[in-house]
Structure 1
């Protein structure tokens, strides 16, 4: 009898939940998956950004961690039945995702309209989430010891005094490396569609200076600390994060300009929760959400309306705005068309 009575009580309780809070119960059963960089980015967004959205909607947001290349590969494999609702990719990779039909148009909103113009990407199919640029990072300890002045130009990568001290990200796997190569190529008279001058000059200029070609930037902090590396392509945000860990590293803005590097988001086409996905995408573009990742992880917002809550963040945002005055935007459509060919050539001629 007790067992039957308990079942009756449980059923009555369930009925009350359905009667008074059925919508909330249904919402709480929903999960959105967002593909993005793991490590600091995943930690910052999970700890500071997603909780308000989860609380408001009763939806769990789960990160699928990986590099932009990893996330793109997963999205391609899942194209017919997407398992990720939002993907966050470096801007160049995002243009590829758009071209592959992996994204649906973002819902227009006040938050979208307030973004920096460069962050409103191709036909509204994606939007910049965090702002940055690729410039040059240098080993402050080594530079001080040797009495070297901070680098001022992309041409400094070829300065003979850095022989065996340049760390360069591999062009096939890194946007940082690609950006640096394209800027060096421009100095040789090339363009985003003509990289012959860069490939021709590399073996006798930058090439002899390179200590190691690395797949990602993860090793740079170690190589700065061991005093192996003097200079490498990197973003101000990455430099700030490493400085925060006590690493003797500084950022230098090349006089020719840094290269705009955003992480961008898109809502995947034909996913299982189109309305909820658009709601999350819109939330992530608001100044309220972007203030959280600025304050929690020093990621630079793509909206100028986000406010810092401390002097350090405020100075960083102001500095990025200043760098944007001379920053270069590359032609990703043209680059992505040629990149497979460049990757093959790079592997055969540069990293062979």
Structure 2
């Protein structure tokens, strides 16, 4: 089977367009008149909007070309780019899908990816000139992927997410980053899971399906954990029936591991007589064959974070100050994309990495010396 040509997918073009517009727009403060609240930018689907009683511009990005990908595929690069901007970054993503697990759901991003980035960036590294002193992502509206091509052409997703990030004072703080990289391996080489949280999202189906999935989750996870909390959310006015669950396990040393699974079918595939019966059977198979298996594999392999979030740590380690080396435990498995990223950063940026496995614990340790990347717009001569 022939592989698709790299760089020709619509979601890649959408991601590059969004990143380019954000970096261009936050580099200078445009003058907005009171009669013209919007300033067009020379790229499609992006414009600056002046918000009343606010001095910072808001970049609004209509994500028409993401397809079945989640909005998190656009949020993840901003966690690396936005802290090194000239001004505070404020982006509102519209027409996005939030309940897709490719690459991860919005709940996994808010409870796993975002806390990891906040721990690496810290609270004392932000510039005092910015209005906000914390990284913030707000979910405004949920929406699901349309399973029907005809319906997908007629109705765009209605999800919305707000991203806000201040700028760093100068560079990443070495002590903060070192503390964030700790954890992920105890004396026996594993983190001890203390509690589990989760969200069940339903759309276009009876609420009993979500309650059924919550009961399955509690009865399964409470066999090993005493602190299990899973709640349900409803996606309003969805075009496709969907039932999904996202869970994240929190360890004793502050590590968070997330897993998700979803199931979507067309409305015509259900009947009033067999809908609930067929749905409950498929929900049982979805939960035990997908979610539980993924979560166990994720916890078994993970170190400081799971395999899906190793790239974020590698990026921060590459941009870190070069005064002292850093190290992090990546667990018993290093993803192939993480290995490729290490090689690319060594060749492109000049960062130095050393990946080695401990033969006694079989844990992979990554040691690095960063390039001391500086926010030149805030640097003093």
TM-score normalised per structure 2: 0.24
TM-score normalised per structure 1: 0.25
Rg larger in structure:
1
**Higher percent of residues as strand:** 2
Greater RCO, 1 or 2 (C-alpha within 8 Å, sep 6+): 1
**Higher percent of residues as helix:** 1
